[in-house]
Amino acid sequence: GYVNEKGEIDNDITVPILCEMAVAQAKAGADIVAPSDMMDGRVGAIRKALDAAGFTNVGICSYCTKYCSSFYGPFREALDSAPRSGDKKTYQMDPANSREALRELRLDEEEGADWVMVKPGLPYLDIVRLVKENTALPVA
């Protein structure tokens, strides 16, 4: 996400950037976009942007439940994408609060997600099951 001058992730600036990225990916031939950012309102905004650009059949995989994890370390190191300062805990979820996972699931369903993801899944199989029990969408 976009980091403002206070060092905070700025949701309102980030969402339009995500929309531009999703449309660019669709123009490049992507059949599915999967924003992993956890910004509020992103799924609905991306769906609207894709539809407006004529990409009504491009699907959206929502990372509806994303937890801070050291599992991401090797990926971030390989891409040199580790946070330059601070961390991403400010917009990732508390694994002890399963009700938050359900709230985010419902919001993303309402905004038009085609399927949802719990990340990382392996250490949170209880949450994967909870999400699966509470949606008709495919769960990754």
Residue positions annotated with a catalytic role: 66, 119
In the beta sheet, which residues pair with residue 139?
A: 116
**Which residues lie closer than 8 Å to 97 by C-beta, 6 or more apart?**
none
Output the DSSP codes for 1-48.
Answer: --B-TTS-B-HHHHHHHHHHHHHHHHHTT-SEE---S--TTHHHHHHH
Query: Cα(49)–Cα(135) distance, rounded to whole angstroms?
Result: 25
**What's the gap between Cα 64 and its chain centre?**
6
Q: Which amino acid is residue 9, in one-letter code?
A: I
Helix (H) or strand (E) holding 116: strand 115-119
